[in-house]
Structure 1
């Protein structure tokens, strides 16, 4: 092969927007991050473990009360089991933090109190 028919290697160029470690593009400063900041005010702050405590407790309860106790044969059974447990959690299970009332009871009575 002579030098006239030899191909040059492709030139590498950097992307216009940097990539995060997972390979996705980072949002620009005026996109998602700033919009979500107006909703909650603390969505982009770091080190706020108090913000996640309620969700973490919900997932812990779900795992220990439903998922770890059942051997699901397929995804359909898992979806049904988790859905059943979430209905129980919201409609039937009393919560100590809510004065041993269910979340749905607190939600409905709160709506009635605010309407009155």
Structure 2
């Protein structure tokens, strides 16, 4: 019997603004959010233009997922990432637009 490999995602009603801002303070995580915002499709973990090790990237994805910014799911063996824009905009109106619109400055 196959188990569900999809990681848990928080209900955004339980995510604090502080947790979100702490996730977005890191330039690598802002870059991930920016790439997802610009992407036409969901992106696999290995498909991002970030210059960190695989284990460090895994940490960054976990922080973003736990802050409610991204949703991760599997297709075959690939873990895909998507921005939870609609849900996030409802919980924190205008925040993603402000972060992405600021050019994601490091």
TM-score above 0.5 = no
Higher relative contact order (CA 8 A, sep 6+): 2
* Bigger Cα Rg: 1
Sort the TM-score into its range (normalised by shorter chain): under 0.3
Larger relative strand fraction: 2
